[in-house]
Amino acid sequence: MCGIVGAVAQRDVADILVEGLRRLEYRGYDSAGVAIVDQNNHLNRIRRLGKVNILADAVNESGPIGGTGIAHTRWATHGEPSETNAHPHMSGENIVLVHNGIIENHEELREVLQQRNYEFRSETDTEVIAHLVDWELRQSDSLLEAVQKAAKQLTGAYGTVVMDRRDPERLVVARSGSPIVIGLGVGENFLASDQLALLSVTRRFIYLEEGDVAEITRRKVIIKDHRGNIVERTATDSTIEHDAGDKGGYRHFMQKEIFEQPIALRNTLEGRISQERVIVDSIGTGAADILSRVEHVQIIACGTSYNAGMTARYWFESIAKISCDVEIASEFRYRDFVTRPNSLLITLSQSGETADTLAALRLAKEKGYMAAMTICNVAGSSLVRESDLAFMTRAGTEIGVASTKAFTTQLAALLILVTALGKQKKTVNQATESKIVKALHELPTNIENALSFDSKIDELAQEFADKHHALFLGRGEYFPIALEASLKLKEISYIHAEAYAAGELKHGPLALIDADMPVVVIAPANDLLEKLKSNIEEVKARGGLLYVFADKQAGLEATDTMKIIAMPGVSEITAPIYYTVPMQLLSYHAALIKGTDVDQPRNLAKAVTVE
Ligand code: M6R
């Protein structure tokens, strides 16, 4: 989704801004632009449709000089992807701005501004902010005041940075619903929608709060809260690794992130489990008390995070004996729901900025949930800041749009949480706890073993690349793993894929089975194996093409129409996490063969910060 970078410095900032945009490319975008102003009030705005590289070439050619500038990658919402709709947008010759989010009342504002003789040059909702600031500036003493006044008239979500050509000493930024971080330098300061954009220039950051408006100059940052009072916001040092934006020796970020899973899991487990026990306090201050009062769990998430929640539902009920509902955030927030007594709300999110999940959290807080916890991968993100408890996955920065290590670390965190909850509720005894903890200790090594199937899966993927559809089947907690596998395949290889609980086959999807429809089955050795074998027979009998990822002990024999990928047995508890890995590799290799843009699949964004 859109990305913002800004800088106020003594040196020329063009390279810093373009490098910042490159670091935000993973979020997904369709056009990019930059505007830089120099000490003589000369403004240079360059916008291009397509990749940041194209913008970078244009910037190199034009060589804009100047120490104050803003830059943006746009993911079209209002108005097609085009150079005219690309940011920065301007009002007249002076006010220049970039914006993330959506202005919901842009049509009414556009009418009012047109009556004031403002001429609109784009189809975007953003342009209204530029004219509104220009209008307010005519009756204000400063740009800061004008932006504050304009912000009060906006409904919707925005993270916006405004620059005035006549005053190249400062940038003004406003945040409401779209994250903005200020990067502190020495004699220079920066802004971005994600700290990752600025890691080459600073590691010290201030996160703006909802409703904040700030003025940034080379030496000073003044922040006002939503009431207009000057406030201090704490600066923190980034914990993100320096090389988070590099692929290392890998061909794609997604590939790197798949292979990083053993270390990501080790990091997530560290300090959360001892030799045999789950450390309840590691979940957060007050976690023990909150968990002991929980009678119901409501999980809210989107996409891959939702699939993690769906998997964990089986664990909450079978291990902790606590009822659990899981719902897609965009459904939950618009439904007239009933809050169960002593219900713990859990949001799951890699980014911590997903608009629907955040809105669902805010709504739930008004509707009497006992407490709100987030399991999240980004420190300082909105979900983390707005939840009572934040249980961080430590997957490291995930750049590939297709979520991989965030999913498996979410599952590990959820398993720790389920065990902790069961301990507090006395539904998990010491023997069960030791068994789960043992399985968690073994997990990173199991994942390393699953990764060793890479070349085998590469061969298998050759058979998928020319297919138009695929079906994934699983039972119990492997149904959500099948959902996740189908999401992965469709988003990066563009092969249409569906997942079904295998017992549902005969209720409809069997009609689709023919030799052109690969059917992937996840078949661990568990209580449901015999049932699953019957489903496999149903597909076989209809001439279907089967690819079965099965436990070595499952007793399945390969045939002409059924390939078996025999996986070494692992603990039943963590096996859903283990079986996720070959599914990720299958999608990755299918996408490679199809030649798609693996890390930035078409039409998708990494952090979905708009509804
Ligand atoms: O950052 P979040 O986990 O809240 O994001 C939710 C979804 O947008 C995300 O999981 C999406 O489905 C991924 N592209 C899936 O690979």
Residue 179 has pLDDT above 90, yes or no: no
Bond into 88 cis (ω within 30): yes
Residues in the chain, overall count: 611
Q: Which amino acid is at 273?
A: I
Q: Which amino acid is at 589?
A: H
2 carries an active-site annotation: yes
Q: Which helix (H) or strand (E) holds 128?
A: helix 127-138
User: What integer is the mean pLDDT of 106-112?
Assistant: 96
> Is there a contact between 6 and 28 (Cβ–Cβ < 8 Å)?
no
Range in 277-286, 346-355, 430-439 with the lowest mean pLDDT:
277-286
The structure tokens listed for 390 are 């934040």
Q: Which helix (H) or strand (E) holds 135?
A: helix 127-138
> Is there a contact between 474 and 293 (Cβ–Cβ < 8 Å)?
no
606 carries an active-site annotation: yes
What is the pLDDT, as a whole number, of residue 220? 95
Q: Is 238 helix (H, G, I), strand (E, B) or coil?
A: coil
| 469 phi and psi angles, rounded to 5 deg | -140, 155
Residue 404: partners with Cβ closer than 8 Å, 6 or more residues away: 254, 257, 258, 261, 398, 488, 584
Residue 289 has pLDDT above 90, yes or no: yes
d(CA 241, CA 196): 10
Residue 213 has pLDDT above 60, yes or no: yes
In 3D, which of 280, 365, 272, 266 has the Cα closest to residue 320?
A: 280
> Closest ligand 1 atom to the C-alpha of 403?
16
Residue 410: partners with Cβ closer than 8 Å, 6 or more residues away: 305, 308, 348, 350, 375, 377, 393
| 40 phi and psi angles, rounded to 5 deg | -95, 20
Q: Is 94 helix (H, G, I), strand (E, B) or coil?
A: coil
The single residue of 2, 302, 324, 376 carrying the catalytic annotation is: 2
Q: Which helix (H) or strand (E) holds 292?
A: helix 287-293
Ligand 1 surroundings by CB, under 6 angstroms: 302-305, 349-351, 354, 357, 401-403, 487, 491, 604, 607-608
User: What integer is the mean pLDDT of 141-159?
Assistant: 93
| 375 phi and psi angles, rounded to 5 deg | -110, 115
Nearest residue (by CA) to ligand 1, atom 8, is 303
Q: Which residue has the tokens 């498996």?
A: 408
Name the band, by pLDDT with cuts 50, 70 and 90, for residue 377. very high
Q: Which helix (H) or strand (E) holds 406?
A: helix 405-425
Range in 231-245, 399-413, 424-438 with the lowest mean pLDDT:
231-245
Residue 552 has pLDDT above 80, yes or no: yes
Q: Which amino acid is at 175?
A: R
Ligand 1 pocket test, pick from 193, 305, 358, 398 with the greatest ligand atom count within 8 Å of Cβ, gives: 305
* Percentages (nearest 5) of helix, strand, coil residues in the chain: 40, 25, 35
The structure tokens listed for 495 are 């092969």
Cα angle 73-76-81, degrees, rounded to a multiple of 5 = 85
In 3D, which of 88, 176, 159, 97 has the Cα closest to residue 134?
A: 97
Ligand 1 pocket test, pick from 258, 349, 350 with the greatest ligand atom count within 8 Å of Cβ, gives: 350
Ligand 1 pocket test, pick from 403, 487, 491, 597 with the greatest ligand atom count within 8 Å of Cβ, gives: 403
* pLDDT top residue among 68 and 100: 68
Q: What pLDDT digit, counting tens, does each position of 575-607 carry?
A: 999 999 999 999 999 999 999 999 988 888 887
| 138 phi and psi angles, rounded to 5 deg | -65, -25
> Closest ligand 1 atom to the C-alpha of 304?
10
Tell me how far the alpha carbon of residue 78 lies from the centroid of ligand 1, in angstroms: 22
Q: What pLDDT digit, counting tens, does each position of 384-397 carry?
A: 999 999 999 989 88
Strands (E), 181-283: 181-184, 189-192, 204-207, 213-216, 221-224, 230-231, 235-237
> Closest ligand 1 atom to the C-alpha of 608?
8
What is the pLDDT, as a whole number, of residue 515? 87
* pLDDT top residue among 609 and 152: 152
